[in-house]
Amino acid sequence: MRSGRRFRQDGLTLFGLLVALVVVSILAAYAAMRINSSAENTLAFQAQRMASDIRHMQTLGTTWGKALSFVTVAGTNGTYEVRCTTSTVSPCPAATTIAVTDPVTGTSFSHAFEKNVSLSSSVTTLKFDSQGRPLTSGGAIATAATTYTLTGGPATVTVTVRPITGLVVVSP
């Protein structure tokens, strides 16, 4: 015989579960955008980007078989760009004072620091040979490290290019 009691089912329905997933996804996307936008302007992020750009430049020089220069302009919100060491045929522009085009982005290979980050270095132009090794102003393989100092407020980060190998290191 059947009893007159009804069984009550507790829990989420499929519709309720989908609504909860949509709300959580929207909140996660919003949080990720906020985290990324503030991280892009931090001193450490900008130092890592500079180091990554130097490494990318070394790879391009090796791939192209061209000697490239890393040219910096010191000061608050300083800049850097990658140029060909000598005027040659493609991919180098006609003048050595023009930044090369980065094949990854299709834009000029240059960058300006943001958020009052100050760039300082004793070397304004660091040349690399076609094997990615740093060179002295005379064209010999460098035997001393080149250091770029980034300062933002009380914090300082250095980007060092090691001699002979061209290894790029970021130190807090």
Residue ranges covered by each domain of the chain: 43-171
The pLDDT value given to residue 8:
66
Question: Is residue 12 scored above 80 in pLDDT?
Answer: no
The pLDDT value given to residue 172:
83
Question: Is residue 112 scored above 50 in pLDDT?
Answer: yes
CATH class of 43-171: alpha beta
- In angstroms, the CA 2 to CA 11 distance is 25
Q: Name the pLDDT band for 21 (thresholds 50, 70, 90).
A: confident
Q: Name the pLDDT band for 42 (thresholds 50, 70, 90).
A: confident
The pLDDT value given to residue 4:
63
Q: Pick the range with the lowest mean pLDDT from 10-19, 56-65, 161-170.
A: 10-19
Residue 85 or 168, more confident = 168
Q: Name the pLDDT band for 39 (thresholds 50, 70, 90).
A: very low
- In angstroms, the CA 172 to CA 156 distance is 7
pLDDT in tens, 55-102: 999 999 999 888 899 999 988 888 999 998 887 777 887 777 888 888
Give the H/E segment covering residue 150: strand 146-152
pLDDT in tens, 136-151: 888 899 999 999 999 9
What is the distance of C-alpha 58 from the center of its chain? 14
Question: Is residue 35 scored above 80 in pLDDT?
Answer: no
